[in-house]
Structure formats: structure tokens, C-alpha cells
Amino acid sequence: MTLAVASCASGAARTKPLGPPGALPEPRRAARFTVLPEWYWEPVEVDTRAAAKPVELPVPESSVVRVEGATRVWDDLGGEGRERLLRDGLVVNGAPDAARARMGAFYMDTREQRVPYVITLDALAYAVHVAFERALAEVDDAVLAPALHALTSKLDVRLAAEQKGAGVEIGEALRLARGIIAVARSLATDGAAVPSAELGPEVPQELARITAHRERVPSALLGVPMDYARFAVPSGAARPGSFRALAWLATAPLVLVAQSEAPGGSVGVATSRLHARAAMLLSRVVEREVDPEIHAAWSRISRLLTFLWGPSDDLAPGDLADIASAIGVTLEDPKHVANVVTIDRLRRRAARGREPLVYDGTGAPGRAGIAMRLFGGHAPADSVALAAMAAAHETRMPSSLDLAVWLGAPEARASLHDEGGDTFAGYDAALARAIAVRPGDDAPSRHASVYGSLLDVLMTWLEPAEDSPRQRASPAAKRAAIESALAAWTYARQTSPPLGRAKPPKASAAPKELKVTGAALPAFVEAAPDVVARMVATLAQMRRGLGAIAGLPPASPAMTTLAEVEDILRVAMRVASRTADDEAISAEDTAALASMPARFARLEEAAEGEGAAHRKVPLFAEVFVDASGEHVLFSAAGLVEPVVMIVREPSTGRLVVAVGAHVAHHEVVEPRGKAVVDGTTLPRGAYVSTFRIAAR
């Protein structure tokens, strides 16, 4: 996922919502507005007294209880490891085991070894990721692919019909608009839809560059620089053509600002006028009043992308219609497209409006990059922050630790400083600018998309309240939390490519009976009920939104998986709340905790047969591309690692040695590689670890 994916940034609504909360109304020509988050986001409150005493460090060895298999874990730590555990309250125990790469396998093995276990935030974040991937695979299959096919087919027919009898100016613009759709149509049908020869040689040339996806070169059709590496298809994708088609429609810009009108522009005035005409023609046929069927197909895709990742960072067809309306022009009347005076007035008005927050390697950055795309890129708050940090120092790529500092983790700045990452002049000013775009706790944009809500989980995770036990944790524990949260951030970034997933099964397998063998074993949940509550709310937002927008039935595999993970999270939230309040865990929740390893394993088994390799860690996510398009910052979630912890047992107060799942985080900056594995363009170099919390 590059910088221009997912968004929390948008302006205020122009009108009052049309319809009751819980229903997303269909956009209307006369009343455009930004999707408001309260239609699908509902906060989940946890009220804790935080009565549990923190584990006082260092812990005397005589105070530590080792139950059954924990004795072996204690012995295996060795003298230095035991010293770290008593001093810091946790320690990573040895190298990760590739055979236990999945969470379910890790916890099942831990339980079978009769070792007390902790359900960590790492494990819960992973479960959320699996649920989202399952749900989005079904959305790809049931909604996006059919809607994209319908949209490109209808646009192809409609624009071809309008070409007949068109004048010179409109005819040339129609040919460009048809070329954009012809590329998408050919990609979506894997070449079955052959572009008309009358569109010229640029269309097949464009298709060849998209298929090669090797470098950043000028577009044969549009004449602007484009980053063709973004068209690399994720491995295992069920619909490689559809993936490329949607990526093309989200990338291809119709540039409205000429080189002479803004520094760094990529096209001349004549080309900018041609692009503006083509943009007006496409915006016109997307209007409901002009073609209801095209409007319905476009709206379905646009509404889903907006709900999941935020509104377009670029001008969308509706935005262009608003600009035209502001200068007294109605798109329904095609005569305005031929008038060069009208075209220049529209371009000037667009140039005075909002400029893209994030440059994705296509067209030009800043005001020179103002363009209309059918499905524009998205500018999430984290991407805007990384761009601000990168802009502060031309020779430095941003770091994942910059992101952790931005998210609010106090220990992150010290770790970044140790690596020399904040020593250049202007870092503090750049950080202040980045923090200024971070949505506040009560800002509507905080939950204006599912991705925005995932960022909210990370902010809550890394910036605990003053009375939270996490504030009193050891420095090693706080660094571990940063690493875990950055791994969860990788899940969120890696989740993003629409139509890049394997095809889901038609129906879920019958659920197996969960069997928990053996005597009762101490089990815990990481005492962070506030973070788990945000996960619950985000999952519920996803479930409600997909039901309303995508029309997924409650009994569908996707909705069933979302409901299953939501139930896991709610159990974890109850136990975490009781732990924070130092209250005994109920018999019901004790039994639910005992079944957690089996539930994780069943969740992963349900994903088998879906090309589910991406559900294993490690996972890569491309999170930043430099201005040249040659160097990439990758974020990676590593293998599951056992972290040995000293946990205070609720109500009894005894200090128990237990094992939980920790997911390491890595980052690497490398020239963009050639191979694509599990949906990510991999770097050629080796892992470069940001920082680690303990000896192996």
C-alpha cells in the first residue's frame, strides 16, 4: 500500500444528512456531502476503576508463581533472561518458531504444553485482521467486481455512442475519456474486450506499460508521469485483471492545472484543457440525471471505498460538478465542454480549491497535481504525517518510529533519538506539522472510515490515559507495545488493496465443536480494556457498514466471521476490565478464556482454501515511496514470538509466570524490487530491525 491509500481527511458536510442515522443516503446532484462517521461508528465504553495494583518492579524471585509448564519456561530463560523478566516484567523468549506462525497454532501449542497464557493485544489485532480480510474478500467477489464490470461496460457503450457526430473539441476529449475506459475494460476482462482501433495506438501502449509495471515513466495515453509499479498484482489474487482495472481508474489523472500555472506541473495548457474536457464528459455521464445505471455502479464502488478507506484525495466526478455549478455551468448541457472560456474558468476555479494532501508518484505534487480521477487515491492521516516528516529532510526517508512518535508513544522519541532519526534541523517543526493533522479524540474524521478507526485503535494503544496501568509499565514493556502496535499498523496497511484477494468460498464450513482438554489452567487477557473496546467498536463499524452499503446478509461467511471475532473481542474486553478492576473472573469468562486457543485456530482454519497465505505472518506493507519512485519504505510484521510475562492474577494478587504472543516489527528501505510475494513488492535487501526489546 503506497501513501495514497485510505483517508481520514475531508471537509465539513455541506448539507444536513439526508435520512436517519444508520442509513447512508444516495448522493444527489443538488446536495453533495461528506459521509459522516456516526452512521456506522458507535463508541463502546468501558468503565473501570483501575483498582488493580501494578506489578512492582523489580519483582523478587520468591514472589513469582510458576504453574505446571511455566517451570520449564522459567528454566529455559537462563540466568540473564530471568534477570530481565524480574526487572522489566516481560522478556522475549528465544527465536520465533516458523511452525507456529499462526496465532491459533501458537496458543494451542502453549496450552498443550500446560503453560499459563495471556491473550495479548497482538493476538486480538491479528484476529481483527483475519476477519477484515475475510470480509473484504467477500466484498470483492459480491460487490466490487460486478460493479466494476457493469461500470466499465456501460461507460464504454455510452461514450462510444456520444462520439458519433461530436465536434472537434468534444470529439478529441471523448476519445481520451473512451481511452481511459477502454484500458480499464480490457484489464477487467483480461484482454477479452479489445479496444477499438479508432482510439489510436496509445491504448495498447498503455496496457503494455501497466502489464510490465516496472518503472515510473510518462503515460502513453495521458502524457503525465505514472508509477507503474502500483499495478503489480498481489500473488494469489483471484481477479488480477479487475485489480489492475480498479487501480488504473484510481490512478489515471485528468490534470486541470498546466505547467505555466503552478510550479512542477506536468502538462501544457493545451493538454490541460483536453483533460478538463474529458473530465467534464466523464463527470457528466456519471450524473444520476444523465445516466442512472452508470451513476448506480459508480456510486456503489465509490461509497464502499469511502467507507473503508476514506474520501478521495483527488477531485471526484461530483466535486467537478460542484465546481462547474459554482461558475454557473451545468454538466448536463454538453455545449459547455466545447467552450474554451468555460473550460479555463473551470480550471482556474479548480486550481484555487483543495490540493492533494499526498503525492502518489503520478502527475505532479501539490497544486500542480490537482486532477480528477474516477476513484481517486486516499490520504490517510498517517500518510500525511509521513509525507510531512519526509519533506523536512530531503535526503531522509521517514521511519516507522516517526509514525510511533506521531501516534503518541512517549518511548518512541527516545528510541528514534538513539538511532539518530531526529537529529536533523527542522525535525521538531515537521513533527508539529504532522501532529496538527492528527485527528483529535472528538474529531469526526477520527472515525470517518474503517481505516481511520484502525488508526484510532493504535492511538489509544500507544497513548494510554494517565490512570492506565500501561503508564506505569517498564520502559521495556512500553517499547514492546510500540513494536506490537507497529505490527498491527502493518496489518492495517497490508489489508488495503481492493480486488487483490483470493476468492472466498461460497459458504462457510459447518462449525466444529470446540473441545478444551485438560484441567483448568491460568489464562489472562492483557489489561488494556480501552484498546480492546476500540477494536470492538471498529469491528462493529465494519459489520454495520458492510451490511448497509454492500448489502452483505447477516448469515454470509464474511458477516459470520466478523460476528465471531467481535464475540472474541467482547470476551477479552470483559476479562481485561475485570483484570483492571482486580475482580475475580466469572466462571463463564474463565471457560471462554480456556476456549480462546481453539477459537483462534478455528478462525484460521475457516480461512483455509482462500489463498490465505497472507494471513500468516510475516506480512509486508509498502508504506512510503520517495519522490523519485525508486526507494520504498516497507513495514513488516514478523513471526509470532513468545513473550514471557509476570502477570498479577485478579482477586488473588499472586504473580504468575505466563506466555503471550508478541509480533515483532521490522522496517526496511530499499530500491524497489522486482518480485511480488503475497501481495507486496518485496525489497531486495535483508530485514533491518527498527529496535528490539530484549535479547533472544
Lowest mean pLDDT among 312-326, 345-359, 432-446: 432-446
Q: What is the pLDDT of residue 680?
A: 43
- Residue 155's nearest CA partner among 348, 287, 326 is 287
User: For residue 629, what is the DSSP state?
Assistant: S
Residue 608: is its pLDDT beyond 60?
no
Planar angle of CA 151, 155, 158, nearest 5 degrees: 140
Residue 269 to residue 280: CA distance in whole angstroms: 16
3-class secondary structure for 60-127?
A: CHHHEECCCCHHHHHHHHHHHHHHHHHHHCEEECCCCCHHHCCHHHHHHHHHHCCCCEEECHHHHHHH
Q: What is the pLDDT of residues 457-502, one digit of tens each?
A: 999 999 887 777 787 788 899 999 999 999 999 999 877 678 888 8
Q: How confident is the model at residue 421 (pLDDT cuts 50, 70, 90)?
A: confident
Local confidence band at 140 (pLDDT 50, 70, 90 cut-offs) = very high
pTM of the model: 0.89
Give the Cα separation of 557 and 476 in Å (integer).
Answer: 40
What integer pLDDT is reported at residue 471 of this predicted model?
Answer: 78
Q: What is the mean pLDDT of the chain?
A: 83
- Rounded mean pLDDT, 297-308: 93
pLDDT tier at 627, thresholds 50, 70, 90:
low
Dihedral angle of Cα 291, 296, 301, 303, to the nearest 10 degrees: 110
What pLDDT score was predicted for residue 36?
Answer: 60
Residue 83 burial (C-beta neighbours within 10 Å; 0-12, 13-18, 19+): middle
What pLDDT, in 10s, does the model give residues 102-120?
889 899 999 999 999 999 9
Mean pLDDT lowest for which of 37-46, 172-181, 263-272, 544-553? 37-46
* 81/425: higher pLDDT: 81
Whether the predicted pLDDT of 514 surpasses 80? no
Q: With both helix axes pointing from N to C terminus, report the angle between 168-188 and 145-163 in degrees, rounded to the nearest 10.
A: 150
Q: Which of 108-117, 264-273, 395-404, 480-489 has the lowest mean pLDDT?
A: 395-404
Of the listed ranges 1-10, 83-92, 413-422, the one predicted with least confidence: 1-10
Q: How many residues does the chain have?
A: 696
Q: Where are the domains of the chain?
A: 147-380
What confidence score (pLDDT) does residue 515 get? 65
Segment 1-51, tens digit of pLDDT: 332 322 232 222 222 222 233 333 333 333 333 556 557 999 998 887 776
Read off the pLDDT band of 664 (50, 70, 90). confident
Q: Which set of grid coordinates corresponds to residue 78?
A: 537462563
DSSP code at position 358 = S
pLDDT tens-digit map of 214-233: 778 899 999 999 988 888 88
CA distance linking residue 458 with residue 122, whole number of Å? 11
Which of these ranges, 64-68, 441-445, 501-505, has the smallest mean pLDDT?
Answer: 501-505
Task: Quote the cell numbers at residue 415.
Answer: 528510541
Is residue 50 a contact partner of residue 581, using CB atoms and an 8 Å limit? yes
Those residues with Cβ within 8 angstroms of residue 415's Cβ, 6 or more apart along the chain or in another chain = 401, 404, 479, 482, 690, 691
Q: Are 400 and 390 in contact (CB under 8 A)?
A: no
Residues 244 and 232: their CA atoms lie apart, in Å, by 8
Q: Between β-strands 655-671 and 64-65, what pairing exists: parallel, antiparallel or unpaired?
A: parallel
Largest CA distance in the chain: 91
| Of residues 454 and 100, more confidently modeled | 454
Residue 315 is given by DSSP the state B
